[in-house]
Structure 1
Amino acid sequence: MSTLLTRALEKRANIWSQMQEIQSRAETENRDALTAEERETWDRMEAELTGLSSDIERMERAARMDAVQRDQAVVTTAGGDSEGRDGDQDAAYRDAFGRFIRRGMSALSNEQRELMLANHSEIRAAATSPGSAGGYFIPTDTLNKITETMKVYGGLLSEVNVITTASGNTLNWPTNDDTANVGAILTENTQVTEQDVTLGQKDLGAYTYTSKMIRASLALLQDSAFDTEGFIARKLGERIGRAVAAHLATGTGTNQPEGLFTNATAGKTGAAGQTTSIVYDDLIDLQHSVDPAYRGTARWATSDSGLKVIRKLKDDQGRPLWEPSLQAGLPSTLLGAPVVVDNGIAAPAAGAASVGFGDLRAAYVARQVAGGQMMRLEERYADYLQVGFLGFLRFDGTPDDGAAFRVYKHPAT
């Protein structure tokens, strides 16, 4: 864990402790409300807490992405010290990939080809030339950095049940809901009644997601002073990630995956007038609309704008329902359950399902085929002295156990 993240967590914990002290003081003195000074202090600390929470979530997300990229670059070989071997493998992979980006597979040795093939699941590519299309990578007297505009996406993918298959053939599995059937007392000399088990079936296909193509000039690949391969690989992966994330939450199921929220059962519908609001009792009702069999591993799921509404809610004693995490790697909680933020989920609005609760792994299953891959189009643009790169991922997802998940739905008016 980085020093910056540790300090941010400690600072957030300290602020939260001070806010709790203000609340406890009012309860000890049997007051119905905070004083004007306490309210001003509370509001200031709450604003600071919000900013810190956003920073912490961003740093934790970056750490997870970095860990995934390093894991994907490991190739297993026999013998030697494991720590030193991993470092050698990382260096060898970077050298092999740099050669591949600049000159293609034909420039690699047999060992480098095997290394690249073993790590084919990484989505990698490069850029194009003048100006904003890539020329800014070529050094003049500029700062040795790249400014990247960010926009958060995803969240659900790390919580649902994801399986990886070697091929994209249709994947079928049986389903059964026998919860409505119960046993009975049998009187003496009475024939046992029959009650059949009803089976169903679900399936997953494999939609092909593409990052769209990027063309890179050979001059750019040779002259760039930046980690062009790492930068463009990240951009292609993020493009595919944004497309997948949107469908995981609200995909229609027609020519794309069906989202977790798309046809989910409403566990609670807000009262008239609550088109953009949520009340404390609604969340309690939503939580208890999910059977206790699932609640032990259940999570909340909402967008950042939905979380903003929820964070302002307080219980009957005036205590915030949302509790920030005070430890790295642990999510913040709402009514005792972790909160997953995914901006593919609808924001609070008339008729929208903006909050969900349930066991996400039981409720939704996603399938990807052999990880993401990259294609290098060398001959197609040879007369332009350019190379084309594109990433793709074969992926599908569908709700699985509908009883494991319920949503809060805002009224139409």
Structure 2
Amino acid sequence: MTHAELRSPETKAAEGAPSSLEVVTAFDDFMRAFETFKEVNDERLAEIEARLSPDALTSEKLARLDDALDRQQRVLDTLALKSRRPPLEAAGGREPAARGEHKAAFDAYVRRGEVASLKSLEGKALAAVTDAQGGYLVPEVTEREIGRRLAEVSPIRAIATVRQVTASVFRKPFATAGFASGWASETGGRAQSATPTLDELAFPAMELFAMPAATQTLLDDAAVDLDQWIAEEVETAFAEQESVAFVTGDGTTRPQGFLTPAKVANSAWEWGKIGYVATGADGAFATTSPSDRLLDLIYALRSGYRRNATFVMNRRTQAAVRKLKDADGRYLWEPPATGQGSATLIGFPVVEAEAMPDVAEDAHAIAFGDFRRGYLVVDRIGVRILRDPFTAKPYVLFYTTKRVGGGVQDFDAIKTLKFGES
């Protein structure tokens, strides 16, 4: 069992929202670090021009500044998340009677293992697969909070379309051959339109689980908000698993990632595949005018998608991109304008997803597209918890599951940058 799984709910409950001064201070520190980074990188570029290679000390200093920028960005991200999270409560501050009854019964189950009230409630609601072996549904407000937290910390979920369903598989029809259309005068004849050819995409919901733990002594403490604790504990575990699956998932035991479909040069793109633009160099940007490939990637996307497009890459790729300049000497990567904002690359937002591959030969290390239209996340309604006081005494484990699916829903809305010659 990991240290994170055994964190005290009291420790989590003690974390409060950050003050505005903390956010401003962290943002100022980040901006100062970025200005220093630019100065050192300019020095490195000047050394390359003068003698074809930078001084080793300059490169080492730049690497340290890169790490410092990443740390400052993580601090900003953490403060921004905390500032957006009010205490968990029902809308309007008061719960309907049925919800309040479910919440009280669920609280008794989590704290003391009492199941009679939950069985009665879920029997009335005809809830399926919720028993002593399958677990019990969390209250609606707790489920809603888990979903909201995942939307904040799971990078792809935050920019994709999210749909809630009750079935185990969500099927979305699409036309492989569109409806016929044309122009006609007010009194002119109209030819019969052709019947479209339809197909469908299937998005099965896979089971995702986490297993936070607490001592019975802590559970007996009435001051501990268990709903809040559960939402916070499963957030990290769920987000880490989703972040990988939505990028590289195989579509069999987990959702299909957007990098999983076959990839072809964008000039040969067809439905069912992801188009890419090559950098022209194996495992690197091109030596001359490296920023041109990023522009090619942007304009490989049709204008209808480009308006809401986002770059997706991991932090190591972002560190490489951070050093690039345009023909006029301006940095392509820009820091966030405020403590709550996001960095931009050539004017488009940058989302950091650690599951994206590093820059390497033939790696598709950068994705660009309208992920709201391109990628679909399917949440099956219902989060279940099974209380287990036996497996890891003296700790009580809470086996928490939810069903999540995902996959590309518009293959023309996402493009990648391949670090290869072609």
CA distance in 2, matches of 1:239, 1:19: 33
C-alpha displacement of 1:240: 2.4
CA distance in 1, matches of 2:199, 2:191: 26
Q: Find the counterpart in structure 2 of residue 400 from structure 1.
A: 409
C-alpha displacement of 1:3: 1.6
Opposite residue 162 of structure 2, the aligned amino acid is: V
C-alpha displacement of 1:332: 0.7
Q: Find the counterpart in structure 1 of residue 352 from structure 2.
A: 341
Q: Find the counterpart in structure 2 of residue 143 from structure 1.
A: none
Give deviations 1:313-363, integer Å, cap 9, x for gaps.
Answer: 111122211011121222111011000110111111222211011101000
Q: Find the counterpart in structure 2 of residue 160 from structure 1.
A: 160
- Does 2:333 match 1:322? yes
C-alpha displacement of 1:293: 1.1
Within the candidate set 37, 48, 72, 1:55 is matched to 72
Deviates more, 1:100-109 or 1:236-245: 100-109
SS at match of 1:260: coil
C-alpha displacement of 1:377: 3.5
CA distance in 1, matches of 2:392, 2:204: 38
Change (3 A) 1:43 1:371: farther
SS at match of 1:51: helix
- Does 2:264 match 1:240? no
CA distance in 1, matches of 2:74, 2:145: 24
Change (3 A) 1:326 1:106: same
Opposite residue 59 of structure 1, the aligned amino acid is: L
C-alpha displacement of 1:203: 2.1
Opposite residue 312 of structure 1, the aligned amino acid is: K
TM-score (norm 1): 0.68
- Does 2:307 match 1:289? no
- Does 2:21 match 1:3? yes
- Does 2:285 match 1:267? no
CA distance in 2, matches of 1:179, 1:310: 40
Change (3 A) 1:95 1:50: farther
C-alpha displacement of 1:252: 1.6
Q: How does 1:108-127 map to 2 (within 5 A)?
A: 117-121=139-143
C-alpha displacement of 1:48: 4.8
Give deviations 1:132-179, integer Å, cap 9, x for gaps.
Answer: xxxxxxxxxxxxxxxxxxxxx8311111111122x2332222213668
C-alpha displacement of 1:241: 2.0
C-alpha displacement of 1:410: 2.0
- Does 2:89 match 1:74? yes
CA distance in 1, matches of 2:225, 2:201: 44
Q: Find the counterpart in structure 2 of residue 199 from structure 1.
A: 198
Give deviations 1:16-54, integer Å, cap 9, x for gaps.
Answer: 578889999xxxxxxx99xxxxxx999979965762453
SS at match of 2:350: strand
Change (3 A) 1:94 1:55: farther
8 Å contact kept, 1:123–1:236: no
Opposite residue 25 of structure 2, the aligned amino acid is: R
CA distance in 1, matches of 2:107, 2:83: 19
Change (3 A) 1:16 1:63: closer
Q: How many pairs were matched up? A: 353
Change (3 A) 1:192 1:216: closer
CA distance in 1, matches of 2:323, 2:314: 15
What percent of counterpart residues are identical? 22
8 Å contact kept, 1:353–1:409: yes
Q: Runs of 5+ in structure 1 lacking a partner? A: 25-31, 34-39, 87-91, 125-152
Change (3 A) 1:382 1:323: closer
Opposite residue 56 of structure 1, the aligned amino acid is: Q
SS at match of 1:390: strand
8 Å contact kept, 1:8–1:52: no
- Does 2:324 match 1:313? yes
SS at match of 1:314: coil
Give deviations 1:166-221, integer Å, cap 9, x for gaps.
Answer: x23322222136689885899xx99969655333211222111112x466554565
CA distance in 2, matches of 1:63, 1:104: 36
Cα RMSD for the two superposed structures: 4.9
C-alpha displacement of 1:411: 2.2
Give deviations 1:203-260, integer Å, cap 9, x for gaps.
Answer: 222111112x466554565599998986676343322221121110011222321101
CA distance in 2, matches of 1:180, 1:288: 28
CA distance in 1, matches of 2:200, 2:283: 36
Q: Runs of 5+ in structure 2 lacking a partner? A: 1-18, 43-48, 51-56, 96-100, 123-136, 147-152, 262-272
SS at match of 1:283: helix
8 Å contact kept, 1:287–1:357: yes
8 Å contact kept, 2:361–2:419: yes
Q: How does 1:11-410 map to 2 (within 5 A)?
A: 11-13=29-31, 48=65, 51-52=68-69, 54-61=71-78, 63-64=80-81, 67=84, 70=87, 73-76=88-91, 100-105=109-114, 117-121=139-143, 154-165=154-165, 167-176=166-175, 196-211=195-210, 213=211, 218=216, 221=219, 234-263=232-261, 265-272=274-281, 274-277=282-285, 279-377=290-388, 381=390, 387-410=396-419
TM-score (norm 2): 0.67
CA distance in 2, matches of 1:327, 1:388: 40
Change (3 A) 1:19 1:383: closer
Change (3 A) 1:372 1:122: farther
